[in-house]
Each structure stands twice: as C-alpha cells, then as structure tokens.
Structure 1
Amino acid sequence: MRISTAQYYEMTAASYQRNFNKAIATSAEASSLTRINTAADDPIGAGRLLALGQQSAALDQYGTNIDSTKSALSLQETTLTSIGTALQRAKELALAASNGTATDADRKAYASELGQIQQQVLGLMNSKDSNGNYLFSGSKTDTAPYSQNADGTYTYNGDQTQINLGIGDGMNVATNTTGWDAFQQTINTSRTQTTMTAPAVDDGRVVLSNGTVGTSSTYNAKFSGGQPYTVSFLSSTQLKITDALGNDVTAEASQNGVISNANGANQTVSFRGVDLKLNINLKSTDTNPDAVIAGHSFTLASTPDSFNASRSPGNTSTAVITGSSVTNQTAYTNAFPSGGAILKFTSATDFDLYAAPITADSKPVSSGTVSGGNATAAGVTFALGGGTPASGDQFVINSNNHQTQNVLDTLGQMITALNAPSDGSAVAKQNFLGAMESGLGNIDSAANQIGTAITSIGARGQALDNQSATNESLSQANTTSQSAIRDSDPAEVMTRLTLQQTMLQAAQLAFSKISQLGLFNKI
C-alpha cells in the first residue's frame, strides 16, 4: 500500500495533536490532582460524584436540623423544669397552709404567694424562643398558648400539631412540645362531687368531701356506670352506698362502709377508685350519736360538664351568654360536638348550633328558638343576657368534661380556697382541707405529665445524638468515596505525564528523521 507524502504529514500531525492534548490534560491533572473536571473526563464517575454531592448536601442540612432541634428542645426542657420547680414550691405552700396552726391571715399570705406562682407558671407556659415563636402552641407559633377567661379559668389556644424536621434518610423528629401534651392532659383527680340531700339544712355534723380519684382504672371501669350514687348514714358507725338503680354496693366501699365516731376527723372512704374524706363532728350534747348521724345523705357523681362561651368579635349586638348547663343528658351525649361548637343566630330569636369551625359545607347539629331568655341546643341550655341577639351573632362554645385540668386552673382553685375564711369553723376548715388535698393531687398529676414531657424531650435528644453520629460516619464515607473517584494519584499522574512527554519528543524526532528521507537521497 502506498502512502503519499501528504497523507503521511496529515496522519503524523493528527497523531501528534492527540498526544499533545493528552499531555496538556495530564499536566492540568498533575497541577490540580483532580481526575474529573468535566463529565466528559469520566461520564460514569461524574454521575457518581453528582449523587455523592447530593448526599453530602443532605447530610449538611441534616446537621443543621439537628443543631436547631437540639437548641429548641434544650429551651423547652429548661422551661418545663422551671415550671416543675414552681409547682414544687406551690405544693410546699399548700402543705404549710394545711397545718393546724395556720390562721386566715397566714392562708391569705400563702394565697398571695401562690398567685405569684400562678402568674410565673403562666408566663413560662407562654414562653417564646429567640425568633419570637411560642414554644408550646403547636403549629400556631404566633398565638399565645394560654389565655384567661372571664370566669378566671384558662384556655389552651394552641393545637396538637408536632413540627417535624428530617435528621436522616427516612428519619424525622419532633422539634416542639405542645401545650396539649405537656399541660392539657393532666389527669384531674378531683372530678367527682358530693351534694348533701338530707337534712335540708346542713347541721355540720357530717362533712363528706368531693373526693379524689385514687385509682383511675377502677374509676373508669366501675364508677361512671353506676352514678349517681346515694351515700346514706345508717348510724354514726355505718354508711350505705346505693347506685343509680338502687342496688346496694356498700360491699365495694372500704371496710364495707364501717366508719368511726370515736375519731371522726379525716377518715377516708374509698369506693370504686374514688377516695372521699369523711368528718363526723359530734357535739358534747349529742348523747345518742347514732340517732344524730342517721338520716344524713349525699349524692355522689362525676362533676357535670361545664361550658365556656365567648362572643365573636364581629357580633353587632351586646348579647352575652351568662350561664350554661346540661339539661338533657341523652341529647347532649348524642349530639353536642365534642371538639367545640358555635351557636349562630339567624334572627333575634332563632339559632343553629354547629360543630366548630363553620365551613361552607357545615350543617347545624341542632336548631331552636329562644324561650324565656334561654337557648337550648343539643341538650344544653344557654342563658342569654345583655340584650337581644342580632342575626349573624355567633358564640364560641367549649365544653369541659373535667377528666383533665390544666395546672393554672388547679392553682386558681387553691387560691380561692386559701382566701376563704375558716377560723373558728370546723366545717369550713374541713372543706378547706378537702380542697387542698384535691389541689395537691392535681399538682402531683401535673408534675407527672411535665415529667413525661421532659422524658420525651430526653428521648428525642438521645435520638438526635445517635443520628448525628450516624450522619458523621456517612459524611466521612461520602468524602472518602468522592476523593477516590475525583482525586488523582500523584505518582501515577507524574509517571503518565513523563511518558506522554517522552512520546511527544520521540514522535518529533522520528518525524524529523523520516521527513528527510527521499528517493533523491539514494541516487
């Protein structure tokens, strides 16, 4: 095969150009020690580097999320711990006020300090972070979680939403603690009440407290189904308990209903999970204790649901709801919205009751007409005052079944009890002690719930630490993998560069020699 001189020159120049470009590329690689500068250098390796880069960015973001979550949880834990410390002081005050030497003046002083503690706890519950977001409002971070109602009770305004952040592939953790979880689900140990039914005028000889729930499981399983109960005193040493159907259930009471008249103060009667304090106050003139005590009777039942009603800001009338109560238990149980309701007037006398919130698809659960100044809907009667309602007026109704109670309300009840005079009255003193015992039980319950919230924070903190260590290992492995794909071996690069440069020099020398060869050189 013949190769023309022109072809030879073209082929040699092209080959030399390719080798020269390779040498230039290798020289650049030797300078940067980076093997892949563009996808053309290694398409497969470039694809792997892209994926590893995305993983590295995600790991960096996970690290930022972990740091911010740790900071948020630390602030929440500190705040909850401070609330627990304040409640411990409240408990100490209640115990001090309950001793036999405290006077009305002493109790008023204790009430004043307890009021300061209540405001301190309220402030801590409404704490904000450095960005101005409320800690315990759930997702409603611009809304104060707790506000005081007109009747002195407190309402939770937040929600139950947990705000989650990703801290690893497929792993999220809640960055917040809601007030619902930390404060609103505190078991109310004082959710039963007693009412004297005989004698018509209380003679003060028998004082039976409202009771506290000592064993929730027994209370839930047995107490609710048999109420209301009747507690009858057959003598100064024996009581009888009958359920709503008239069945004698005294056998389920402590000591089968046997009580003492020798030491009648602060006896405990336990029945179906409820502990009641009993005081027998015999007088020196009571020569026949059995005759004096026999005939006293009380009803015992769970505290009925109560309601908090507030006007809508857009109401055009001055009408207000002054009171509310369940008047038809069956209708209330079957129809009243458990998540809150809205009473909306369609005229001065006609109204509808809706489940909150009202939407375009909402239908009323009950409707009616005002009668005698009362609006009755879904088994609840609302007393109206302050003027005649106008069409379009709305009232937000929240029900309270008293199964739970936030600690702000507990402290408020204790303050009320401390301010009530009881010097010189054995009955008033016994009622006061019953209120303090109920308050102490609820403070313990609140402290337990706060402790559970702190435990949850600790568990999440441990998960953050574990995931942080995992992410660090993944980050190191990612860096190593990227380096192995992208970075060059200095010795290999220098060897290759030297070889390529030598080949270029040899090619130049060979071309120079061959180009001098010709037929005329041989003549």
Structure 2
Amino acid sequence: MIRISSQQVFTGGINRLQELNASLNNTQEQISTGKKVNRPSDDPVAAARILKLDQEVKRIETYQRNVSLADNRLQQEENALAGSVDILQRIRELTVQAGNGSLSANDRQSISAELQQRVDQLADLTNTRDASGEYIFSGFQGDQPAFVQAADGSWNYNGDEGQRVLEIDDGVTVPISDHGKGIFVNVPAAISVKATTGTDGYISGLELGNEQALRDAFVGAVPDDLTVVVDAGGTVTVENRNVTPVQTLTTSPATVQAGEEFEVAGIRMTVSQGASAGNFTLGINDRQSVFGTIDKLIAGLEGIDKTTPEGQASYDALIAESLINLDNAQESIILKQTELGGRMNAVESTEAFLEDSALYTKEIRSELEDVDYAEAVSNLSFQSFVLQAAQQSFAQVSQLSLFDQL
C-alpha cells in the first residue's frame, strides 16, 4: 500500500505544471524568434553545427565583399585603359595628318594645339582615382598622383612599382592594381638617332625592317645602342661598342658609302656624310614614356624647320618614330587590357562559386535552425490544451483532504 501525503500531491502537481509551462514558453519563443534552437541547451549537437555554419557564412560574406571591391577596381582600371586607347588612336590620326607634306605652319600649329589637349586628357585618365580616393596607377603610393607635370610641362611618373593584391577566397588572390610605369612609361621605343658627334651630316629613312634579323645579329641580348661611323672618305661602318672587342656588323651591301641606302641587322637607313667625319649613336633597345613621345611630337611640329634637307629628314623621322611609338603604347595598353580580362573572369567565376556556397550553407543552417511554423503552432495549441487540463486536474485534486472526511 502506497501512502501519498498532501505535500507530495501539491509538489508533484506544481512540478508538472512548471514542466508544461516551460514547454509552452519554449514553443512560444521558437515561434517569436523563428528559430527552434535559441540556446545550446535546446540541442547541443545542432547548436555546435549552427555555430560552424554561421562562421562559414561570415567567411563567405567577407570574401564576397572582397570580390565586389576587386571587380570595381578592375572595372575602373579597364575603363581608364579603354579611354587611353581612344585618346592614343586620335593622337595617331593627328600624327598621320601631320605627315602630310602640303600642310602649312599654321596647320601644324593647330595639330599641335589639339595634341596638347589630348595629352592633358591622357594625364587625367592616368590619374584616375577609385571610390576611396586613391590613385589606381600609383602602385603602393595610392595617396600620390601617378603622373605629375614638371616645370617644363613634361609628365613624370610619381608612383612606385607596387601591385596590390586581394584575397577573394581561401588561397585565391587576384591583383587589383597595375602601376603606371609598366603601362605608360616602359614602352618600347622606335629606333632613333640619340646623338651625333663630329659631323653635321644626318640619317634619313631609318627603320627596322626585320626584327628577327636584329635579334640574330647579336649573341645574347640586343644592345641598347649601335654606333654608325662615317670616315673622312665617306665610308660607313656600323659598330657594337657595348662589347670587347668592338663588334663590326655586316652591312648590305658589304661596302657602304655616304648617301647610299643600306641594311644592317635588319635596320635600313641612309647616311649623309656632312662636311667632316663623325658618328651617330642609334638607340635600338630604348624605352620611352607615351607622354615623352607626344611631347617630342609637339615640340617637333612647332620647332623643326622643313625648308632644309636635314630639317625635312628630321621631320619625316619624327613622324615615323612617333607612329611606331604610339603603336607600341597602344599595344602595351591592349596587352594590359587582355590581362585584366583574365583577372575579371577569375573574379566573376569566384563570385559565382561564393554565391553557390553561401546558398548551400544557408540552406543547411536553415534546416537545423529555422522553426517549422505549422508544427510549432500545432504544438503550441496542444501544449496549451494539456496545460489547461493539468491546471483543472490539479485544482480538483488539491481540494481532496482527510479533513474533508471528518
């Protein structure tokens, strides 16, 4: 026979009511928060997995912000480069126009004035800033303009050669900047006369006709310059003085006299002797800034006297060299655009991958964390009913007492 005291009845009833009320409150909390795991004690295993999934979502969101930043920077650089190509194309058209022999001095002056406007536009593009106000072509010196104008009006590179990179996924980085020196300054220059010594003669018709022959003429790297020597008798020889002993190059024809066109190492030219013997230094492996090319063209349009044979030869050489240099500058920019296209494709594919990863991770987290409202509401209704029944039952049982039978 089991004896149950009144105290046990009351204690058991109250405990049961508290359990039912706690379950009801837990269900109400799930409905109000939309989550079925609101604290680790609700489901320790699920809570641990949800925490890891939350960390994964935050990681993905961080990389997505980096992807957006990288895409914006690359898009901005691509737009600046595209604008630069358009400007250089217009400058090239003006250069071709300037080569027209029928132009007057006023015509050349008008071309020069437009060239000056175009070079100012190009400088503005090379000093493009990103959304944070940093210059995109200055390397690591983002707070400094990439190109600054000197007192003589020339434009000089003011940044460094740094390249910024950004991590867009675990172990995946992408360059988000390019320094202006590599794009606009270190541009291969056309072969030109760098210096003239001991003679008032000149070189005309200078051009590279066979680039492969130039490389084949030297063992190892192509030297920076060659020396064209004209002796007192008018005989022309070409020397590579960058090696010891001095290398004398083979010309075609084998013996060349001043005033005769010849070819050496793929380079064609005609040498005018002048009143005395001397030599010319040819720059054959030089680099030149695109701004230097345009400034030199402007100065030549305004300053070269075409009324003399030497002046006409200098003017023709200026136009030919400028066209080659402008083509090389455009090619430098287009190559960088191609490289940017590859980076932008990588950013785009990473962005798609991160979006898919975020969606998959959030779906798993939702399955573990989000409440099923239909089930929760049904449970709430049932728990409310059970709690009411328990309360009524306890009220009746609590009225039973031995003293009521006395």
TM-score (norm 2): 0.80
The equivalent residue for 2:189 is 188
- Does structure 2 retain, via aligned residues, the 8 Å contact 1:194–1:210? no
Could you list the per-position Cα deviations for residues 40-76 of structure 1 after superposition, in whole angstroms to 9, with x for gaps in the alignment? 2223323332333333334334444433443333332
2:220 paired with 1:221: yes
Q: 1:99 to 1:440 in 2, by over 3 A?
A: same
The equivalent residue for 2:372 is 489
The equivalent residue for 1:453 is 336
Q: 1:247 to 1:404 in 2, by over 3 A?
A: closer
Instruction: Give me the whole-angstrom Cα distance separating, in 2, the residues matched to 1:3 and 1:17.
Output: 24
Instruction: Give me the whole-angstrom Cα distance separating, in 2, the residues matched to 1:223 and 1:126.
Output: 34
Could you list the per-position Cα deviations for residues 431-453 of structure 1 after superposition, in whole angstroms to 9, with x for gaps in the alignment? 22112222222111111111122
2:269 paired with 1:269: no
Q: 1:520 to 1:207 in 2, by over 3 A?
A: closer
Corresponding pairs, count: 400
- Does structure 2 retain, via aligned residues, the 8 Å contact 1:133–1:141? yes
- Does structure 2 retain, via aligned residues, the 8 Å contact 1:182–1:453? yes
Matched position secondary structure for 1:36: coil
The equivalent residue for 1:467 is 350
The equivalent residue for 2:238 is 241
- Does structure 2 retain, via aligned residues, the 8 Å contact 1:136–1:178? yes
Amino acid at match of 1:298: N
2:136 paired with 1:135: yes
Deviation at 1:250, TM superposition (A): 3.5
Instruction: Give me the whole-angstrom Cα distance separating, in 2, the residues matched to 1:146 and 1:276.
Output: 36
Instruction: Give me the whole-angstrom Cα distance separating, in 1, the residues matched to 2:210 and 2:48.
Output: 66
- Does structure 2 retain, via aligned residues, the 8 Å contact 1:126–1:145? yes
Instruction: Give me the whole-angstrom Cα distance separating, in 2, the residues matched to 1:94 and 1:454.
Output: 24
Matched position secondary structure for 1:241: strand
- Does structure 2 retain, via aligned residues, the 8 Å contact 1:235–1:294? no
Q: 1:518 to 1:78 in 2, by over 3 A?
A: closer
From 270, 276, 296, the equivalent of 1:278 is 270
Instruction: Give me the whole-angstrom Cα distance separating, in 1, the residues matched to 2:268 and 2:3.
Output: 118
Amino acid at match of 2:77: Q
The equivalent residue for 1:168 is 169
Q: 1:192 to 1:498 in 2, by over 3 A?
A: same
The equivalent residue for 1:207 is 203
- Does structure 2 retain, via aligned residues, the 8 Å contact 1:211–1:277? yes
Which structure has the higher relative contact order (CA within 8 Å, separation 6+)?
Answer: 2
Deviation at 1:460, TM superposition (A): 2.5
| Cα-Cα RMSD | 4.0
Deviation at 1:295, TM superposition (A): 8.9
Matched position secondary structure for 1:221: coil
- Does structure 1 retain, via aligned residues, the 8 Å contact 2:40–2:47? yes
Instruction: Give me the whole-angstrom Cα distance separating, in 2, the residues matched to 1:68 and 1:298.
Output: 56
Matched position secondary structure for 1:278: strand
Matched position secondary structure for 2:173: strand
Could you list the per-position Cα deviations for residues 276-313 of structure 1 after superposition, in whole angstroms to 9, with x for gaps in the alignment? 53256xxxxxxxxxxx999965344548xxxxxxxxxx
Matched position secondary structure for 1:269: strand
The equivalent residue for 2:93 is 92
- Does structure 1 retain, via aligned residues, the 8 Å contact 2:206–2:270? no
- Does structure 1 retain, via aligned residues, the 8 Å contact 2:190–2:325? yes
Matched position secondary structure for 2:287: coil
The equivalent residue for 1:56 is 57
- Does structure 1 retain, via aligned residues, the 8 Å contact 2:36–2:370? yes
Deviation at 1:94, TM superposition (A): 1.8
2:279 paired with 1:298: yes
Instruction: Give me the whole-angstrom Cα distance separating, in 2, the residues matched to 1:137 and 1:296.
Output: 47
Matched position secondary structure for 2:338: helix
Amino acid at match of 1:277: M
The equivalent residue for 1:373 is none
Matched position secondary structure for 1:431: helix
Alignment of 1:396-435 (within 5 A): 403-435=286-318
Deviation at 1:81, TM superposition (A): 1.7
Instruction: Give me the whole-angstrom Cα distance separating, in 2, the residues matched to 1:429 and 1:506.
Output: 113
- Does structure 1 retain, via aligned residues, the 8 Å contact 2:187–2:329? yes
Could you list the per-position Cα deviations for residues 200-222 of structure 1 after superposition, in whole angstroms to 9, with x for gaps in the alignment? 5x3x5x63577669749827935
Matched position secondary structure for 1:224: coil
Structure 1: gaps of 5 or more residues? 281-291, 304-401
The structure with the greater share of residues assigned to helix is 2
Deviation at 1:153, TM superposition (A): 3.8
Deviation at 1:507, TM superposition (A): 5.1
- Does structure 1 retain, via aligned residues, the 8 Å contact 2:77–2:136? yes
Matched position secondary structure for 1:298: strand
The equivalent residue for 1:145 is 146
Q: 1:209 to 1:65 in 2, by over 3 A?
A: same
TM-score (norm 1): 0.64
Amino acid at match of 2:45: I
Identity %: 25
Could you list the per-position Cα deviations for residues 250-286 of structure 1 after superposition, in whole angstroms to 9, with x for gaps in the alignment? 43x4x3546699xx69x56342x6x353256xxxxxx
Q: 1:88 to 1:294 in 2, by over 3 A?
A: same
Amino acid at match of 1:241: V
Instruction: Give me the whole-angstrom Cα distance separating, in 2, the residues matched to 1:92 and 1:220.
Output: 38
Matched position secondary structure for 2:328: helix
- Does structure 2 retain, via aligned residues, the 8 Å contact 1:270–1:276? yes
2:80 paired with 1:79: yes
Structure 2: gaps of 5 or more residues? none
Deviation at 1:408, TM superposition (A): 0.7
- Does structure 2 retain, via aligned residues, the 8 Å contact 1:230–1:299? yes
Instruction: Give me the whole-angstrom Cα distance separating, in 2, the residues matched to 1:470 and 1:436.
Output: 51
The equivalent residue for 1:102 is 103
Q: 1:154 to 1:221 in 2, by over 3 A?
A: farther
Deviation at 1:234, TM superposition (A): 10
Q: 1:211 to 1:300 in 2, by over 3 A?
A: farther
Q: 1:3 to 1:462 in 2, by over 3 A?
A: farther
- Does structure 2 retain, via aligned residues, the 8 Å contact 1:234–1:240? no
Amino acid at match of 2:338: T
Could you list the per-position Cα deviations for residues 156-175 of structure 1 after superposition, in whole angstroms to 9, with x for gaps in the alignment? 11122333344334433333
Deviation at 1:430, TM superposition (A): 0.8
Q: 1:32 to 1:95 in 2, by over 3 A?
A: closer
- Does structure 2 retain, via aligned residues, the 8 Å contact 1:417–1:436? no
Instruction: Give me the whole-angstrom Cα distance separating, in 1, the residues matched to 2:160 and 2:148.
Output: 14
